[in-house]
Chains A and B, each alone.
Chain A
């Protein structure tokens, strides 16, 4: 298999730097921290929240939102579903809640500090190159602050707003005020409250009426500093008859201690609008003994507010020590459609608890759930999903398919489907399978000349095909490579 990303890495002479660290996780380097412009004291207090808001020169209403959220966070208990054994070890007082990597967001590429640019080079996502080759607009968030947004001008000619969240607060307060928290209120859950109080940056995207965004929009997240939490927020608003495809990628350095990531993503889709949101999540998963790794607690939710609107989530989850993530759709508009396509891979000691909620409120709403779990090593992989059909949701349809693939005999796969049906006309189908990679399949592939590893990749890729098909081309290629890396050495 040709590995473009690897070739790119070679080209950019970073192999030497990478040799020092474990090869398993090639995003494991970290930038010098003494070049940071600001790093908050550890711990979460009202003072810190005020400081964050002040440093970002936020208007009063924004600070108000944060303080209310902080209040909720301090009152809310830790969630109790899933495996909470590790969760209770998180010391929220021992986290830097805000780190600013450079004084200001570079308005020009040239103004972006060299070491940050080098980071992107190491990641193989040189912005300029992406810009040239793919025409993807990129917003990149390192630690807490959005560093650079490309393509802004071209997009703005169509009336599309694509900028960092901080900029949006300054430049488009009316939109932020209207939609922030409208899908995921700060009262929603523990981590959403935390995020709402301390979120540092993120992306904002607004597609006006009737506009089909001509390029993929992309956000790239990276945690760099030790002991930092990353709390970004993404808000996407798609007006009537607009269309947008949004990509999100993430990596983090290798650290022995755990890092916390608690993001919130909100999507609003009006009449006939279509939003496609694709994620390749590759936070550092911890080492083979289960030490270190990112705790990934993310609230992602889309509101199909308009008639015949559609929101489609696709995710490939390979990283993080612990992931709790349920990208969901509230199907409020009549005839609206929600989709969730997911691949979650866990190896070694990783734990993934992921799934979706499809809340049918409008008439003739439809949802599709395709979840593919792959567990190896001593990991645990759970699908947790809710399909809810409200009283007025006449003729709601749901199809769910949850497949689990086990590699080895020390891992676990679990499926927790919840159904709440309040309307008799609903049609809900659920299919679930659990399988092991068959020795017969391996033997067959090897007899044709494939190595055991290539055989596993081929079988796993075939198993995940329905989800890969949903990803944009270049993302699908990267995702397949990631899968191969994640499962390396998992058999035999």
Chain B
């Protein structure tokens, strides 16, 4: 589904990603961990197409297409969804209205008929129910005055409605209390399927107790320093990143 080869990314003068290789197959959940400043969020933004970053080398292929050749909205319509670390507020636009515009713009693009207000509401109510959320969320202005938890839940709701092929969760667990964390994680688990893949960017192993990954990658200084299964995350939790730093400095000397 997603093939990243030798990806180098800069922001201004600063090189952030220094050669990432990653293959994600349909249905897989990959966790990306690593200390602050290692490039985790940059990777998420580059996949979504944010313009602040420049890809200086390498390639990203998504569903057989050259992802780097696509605009932000094209990527989204092709099935890439980014759950934001800091979802923005859009005053005066309700979540329901927002989702209706988005869903219909995707449907129009695909040559499908637009959903009318009633059909849309039905769809959204169903998703809200499945995720165990509060329907009042739909009527409120998008993220305006939402608590941190509500914002993250709203991201998951949008993901559920848009049914992406690849969801990139960018530190979705940050700022969540344990109850919100559970709802968010359960939402993600409901959406797991053989066709849908996830990239879960996180600082903490805690989230991975709920969303159990197939693979864990540790990003360090712009490179994937180590890959493994969920046990790698547990090890990081116990021992921190220091052992990794030692390992890398040893290997770079060798």
Q: Which of B73, B81, B114 contacts A451 (CB 8 A)?
A: B73
Kindly list chain B residues whose C-beta atoms are within 8 Å of the C-beta of A451: 73, 105
**Is A75 interfacial (CB-CB < 8 Å)?**
no
Inter-chain contact A462/B92, CB cutoff 8 Å: yes
**Is B26 interfacial (CB-CB < 8 Å)?**
no
Which residue, A440, A446, A461, A463, has most C-beta atoms of chain B within 10 A?
A446
Provide the bound-state CA to CA distance between A454 and B98, in Å.
Answer: 11
Inter-chain contact A449/B105, CB cutoff 8 Å: yes
**Is B241 interfacial (CB-CB < 8 Å)?**
no
Inter-chain contact A458/B90, CB cutoff 8 Å: yes
Provide the bound-state CA to CA distance between A441 and B142, in Å.
Answer: 11
Which residue, A448, A459, A463, A466, has most C-beta atoms of chain B within 10 A?
A448
Provide the bound-state CA to CA distance between A445 and B114, in Å.
Answer: 18
List which A254-275 residues lie within 8 A (CB) of chain B: none
- The answer to whether A444 and B87 touch (CB under 8 A), given A449-B106, A450-B73, A464-B92, is yes
CB distance from B136 to the nearest CB of A (A): 18
List which B31-56 residues lie within 8 A (CB) of chain A: 48-51
CB distance from B245 to the nearest CB of A (A): 33
Inter-chain contact A450/B101, CB cutoff 8 Å: yes
Kindly list chain A residues whose C-beta atoms are within 8 Å of the C-beta of B101: 450, 454, 458
**Is A452 interfacial (CB-CB < 8 Å)?**
yes
Q: Which of A438, A443, A449, A458 contacts B93 (CB 8 A)?
A: A458
List which A405-444 residues lie within 8 A (CB) of chain B: 438, 440-441, 443-444
Q: Which of A440, A452, A463 contacts B73 (CB 8 A)?
A: A452
**Is A291 interfacial (CB-CB < 8 Å)?**
no
Provide the bound-state CA to CA distance between A434 and B71, in Å.
Answer: 30
Q: How large is the interface on A (under 10, 10 to 19, 20 to 34, 35 or more residues)?
A: 20 to 34
**Is B88 interfacial (CB-CB < 8 Å)?**
yes
**Is B183 interfacial (CB-CB < 8 Å)?**
no
Inter-chain contact B84/A463, CB cutoff 8 Å: no
List which B54-79 residues lie within 8 A (CB) of chain A: 71-73, 76-77
**Is B162 interfacial (CB-CB < 8 Å)?**
yes
- The answer to whether A454 and B91 touch (CB under 8 A), given A446-B76, A447-B72, is no
CB distance from A93 to the nearest CB of B (A): 47
**Is A392 interfacial (CB-CB < 8 Å)?**
no
Kindly list chain B residues whose C-beta atoms are within 8 Å of the C-beta of A445: 90, 98, 102
**Is A465 interfacial (CB-CB < 8 Å)?**
yes
Q: Which of A438, A449, A466 contacts B76 (CB 8 A)?
A: A449
Inter-chain contact A443/B72, CB cutoff 8 Å: yes
Inter-chain contact B92/A446, CB cutoff 8 Å: no
Kindly list chain B residues whose C-beta atoms are within 8 Å of the C-beta of A449: 73, 76-77, 102, 105-106, 109, 162
Provide the bound-state CA to CA distance between A465 and B144, in Å.
Answer: 14
Inter-chain contact B102/A440, CB cutoff 8 Å: no
Q: Which of B48, B93, B105 contacts A462 (CB 8 A)?
A: B93
CB distance from B24 to the nearest CB of A (A): 19
CB distance from A140 to the nearest CB of B (A): 32
Q: Which of A440, A444, A462 contacts B91 (CB 8 A)?
A: A462
List which A268-304 residues lie within 8 A (CB) of chain B: none
Chain B's closest residue to A457 (CB) is B101
CB distance from A186 to the nearest CB of B (A): 41
Provide the bound-state CA to CA distance between A448 and B71, in Å.
Answer: 12
Inter-chain contact B141/A447, CB cutoff 8 Å: no
Kindly list chain B residues whose C-beta atoms are within 8 Å of the C-beta of A2: 114
Provide the bound-state CA to CA distance between A11 and B74, in Å.
Answer: 32
Inter-chain contact B48/A447, CB cutoff 8 Å: yes
Provide the bound-state CA to CA distance between A440 and B98, in Å.
Answer: 16
Extra A-B contacts (18), CB below 8 Å, given A444-B90, A449-B73: A2-B114, A443-B50, A444-B84, A445-B102, A446-B72, A447-B48, A447-B73, A447-B76, A447-B81, A447-B82, A448-B81, A449-B105, A450-B102, A450-B105, A458-B90, A461-B93, A463-B91, A466-B92
Can you show 19 pairs from A to B with CB atoms below 8 A apart?
A: A441-B90, A443-B50, A444-B84, A444-B87, A444-B90, A446-B73, A447-B72, A447-B76, A447-B84, A448-B76, A448-B81, A448-B102, A449-B77, A449-B162, A450-B101, A450-B102, A462-B90, A463-B92, A465-B92
User: Which 9 A-B pairs rank lowest in CB-CB distance, beginning with the nearest?
Assistant: A462-B92, A462-B93, A465-B92, A449-B76, A446-B72, A446-B73, A448-B102, A449-B77, A444-B88
